[in-house]
Every structure is written in C-alpha cells, then in structure tokens.
Structure 1
Amino acid sequence: MAGLWFEQFSVGQRFVHEIRRTVIEADNMLFSALTYNPAALHIDHAYAATTEFGRPLVNSLFTLGLVIGLSVQDTTFGTTIANLGMTETTFPKPVFAGDTIRVETEVQALRPSSSRPGQGIVTFEHLGLNQRDEVVCRTLRAALMMGKPA
C-alpha cells in the first residue's frame, strides 16, 4: 500500500510528488461537459479569444481535482477513509491546455479523531505548479485517515 497511516504523518512533513500531468484540451471539454458547466470561457474558443487570456481557461475544479489526485500516490492511496473538506482554495494563475502540472504537499496539522478510535484527521496543504513553477492552485484539505493496524 502506497499511502501512509495516520501515525506516519508529522506536521511539517513535505512531499514533492514525482508524477506530473500535462493537461489537454479534451480534459477541459470533457470535465466541463460532465459537470454541466457551459461557461464560454472554458468551452468556446471564439469567445475565449476575445478575453484577456486569448484562449480557453481550464476549469478550476478540474485543476483542483488534478492537484489533489497527483498527491494521492505518495500520501493517502489506500489509507484515506474520506475527504472532509477543502478550504482556502485559490487559483493564482490560470491553467491552459498544454500546461504540465506538478504538486508539492505539506502536512499542516494532525489530530486523532474524537469520534472514531484508531483514525485521525490530517490537514494537507497542496500546491499545484505549472511548468514555469508558478502556483496555479493552493488548497488546504482535511482527510480522515486510517490508523495503523495493530
């Protein structure tokens, strides 16, 4: 199992995730279609050409999902019970088709669950960066994690 148990995390622990992913236009179009998001800024090249960006922006919720997904292999794969929420999520730079996203994660907080013995809550800060090392997404994610089996 690649994921870590609750007891294996420590505040300040950092992960530079090896897996990166290049976003393609189909990702954005499919995600927008699957989530019923008709925003012209994401799906209409002619409209997007008239904006300050000059081309479609990748849907920010796709970016958030990708950033968290790229962190899973090293941190929570097989040991997460549930995501409890994301807070302080920002998108300081846009993502476009052709951008390659990588992720860095830092453990911000830990606490044993008060209602679930043998489990704990880990708060992760995930940073998504593009190929120019610009932060394109930052989020704090609370995850309910399995404790190490006895």
Structure 2
Amino acid sequence: MLLDKKRRLGKQLEELSVGESIQLTERIEDKDLLLYLGLTNDNNPLYIQHDYAASTAYEKPVVPTIMLTGIVTSAISKHLPGAGSYICAQTFHFPTPLYHYETVQIQLTVENIDTINRQIKVKVEGLNSKEEIVLEGTVTAVPPIHPK
C-alpha cells in the first residue's frame, strides 16, 4: 500500500538557501489536456475547440492556467523543497497564453527564508519557446518537518 511506504522527504528549512533554484521543462500534449478536462469537467471551448479558438484573438487553443499552476505545485512537492512540503500561499500572473503543444520552461528560485514562521518564498517564472513570460509569481511553502 502506498501509504505504508517510507518516503524520502524533501529538504528541511535549515538545508535550503536563498538563490537555490531548479529549472524544469514540460511539453503540453493532448493527454495532459484530456486528463485535466476529465478531472475538472472544464469544457471551455478556448481550451479544446480549434475552430472556436481560431475565431478569437488567441487564434488557437490555450493551455488552462491551472495546468501551469499544477506544474509548479508538483515541482514544489517533488524538488524544492520536496516531498512533505505544504504550500500555504501562491500568487500567479499569466501575461501571455501558452498554446497546445508548446514547451514551457519553469524556473523556481528560493527568494526568502523566514526562520521564524518556518516558511520559504519561491519566485516562479515560466517561459514559452519564444522566451515570452507565460507565468510569473510566488509560492510560499512550509518545508517538510521530519518526524522524530
């Protein structure tokens, strides 16, 4: 059973440093969009209908912004600080849409370490293949607390 397994936890607060960062690259494919749509029942035609999207200022289907947010929260859980982390706040802006079949590069950088509240602030920036900003913001997370 998954819950019975001992898992390696991410970095504790004391193991992190300001400026520490990771970069990940994700390509958005049909399977990703179909999973999102199936989970959320969000059938916005701007996300899935090429003919509708072609009639808008966007000209082609866009990736739901919550999918980009999901990539970020997954990166927090997997890498920085890692497994056992808890996200307590997030603020994002999406100045340029990301389109289907595009690749996004997301950079996460520890911007601040609050030892009193045991939280870190992570700066987030996502770029499309043209190096346009498709995602920017911050995440406040509580690093994992290792059991005694």
Which category describes the TM-score, using the shorter chain as reference length? 0.7 to 0.9
Query: What is the CA RMSD across the aligned residues, in angstroms?
Result: 2.3
- Count of aligned positions: 141
2:50 is equivalent to residue 52 of structure 1:
no
Cα distance in 1 between the residues matched to 2:100 and 2:146: 40
Q: Percent identity?
A: 23
- Which range moved further: 121-130 or 62-71? 62-71
| Residue of structure 2 in register with 1:8 after alignment | 15
Structure 1 residue 92, shift from structure 2 partner: 1.3
Q: 2:17 aligns to what SS in structure 1? A: coil
| Residue of structure 2 in register with 1:146 after alignment | 144
CA contact (8 A) 2:9 2:146 kept: no
| Residue of structure 2 in register with 1:117 after alignment | none
**1:1-150 to 2 correspondence within 5 Å?**
1=8, 3-11=10-18, 13-17=19-23, 19-70=24-75, 72-80=77-85, 82-87=86-91, 89-112=92-115, 114=117, 120-146=118-144
CA contact (8 A) 1:32 1:43 kept: no
TM-score normalised by length of structure 1: 0.80
Q: Which amino acid letter does the alignment assign opposite residue 6 of structure 1?
A: L
What are the ranges of 5 or more consecutive residues in structure 2 without an aligned counterpart? Answer: 1-7
Cα distance in 2 between the residues matched to 1:65 and 1:130: 16
CA distance 1:147–1:6, change in 2 (3 Å): farther
* 1:104-139 deviation line (CA, Å, top 9, x unaligned): 12222222355xxxxx11111111122222221112
CA distance 1:148–1:30, change in 2 (3 Å): closer
CA contact (8 A) 2:22 2:108 kept: yes
Cα distance in 2 between the residues matched to 1:148 and 1:29: 36
Structure 1 residue 68, shift from structure 2 partner: 3.5
CA contact (8 A) 2:9 2:83 kept: yes
| Residue of structure 1 in register with 2:4 after alignment | none
Cα distance in 2 between the residues matched to 1:149 and 1:41: 46
What are the ranges of 5 or more consecutive residues in structure 1 without an aligned counterpart? Answer: 115-119
TM-score normalised by length of structure 2: 0.81
Structure 1 residue 146, shift from structure 2 partner: 2.8
Cα distance in 2 between the residues matched to 1:144 and 1:70: 14
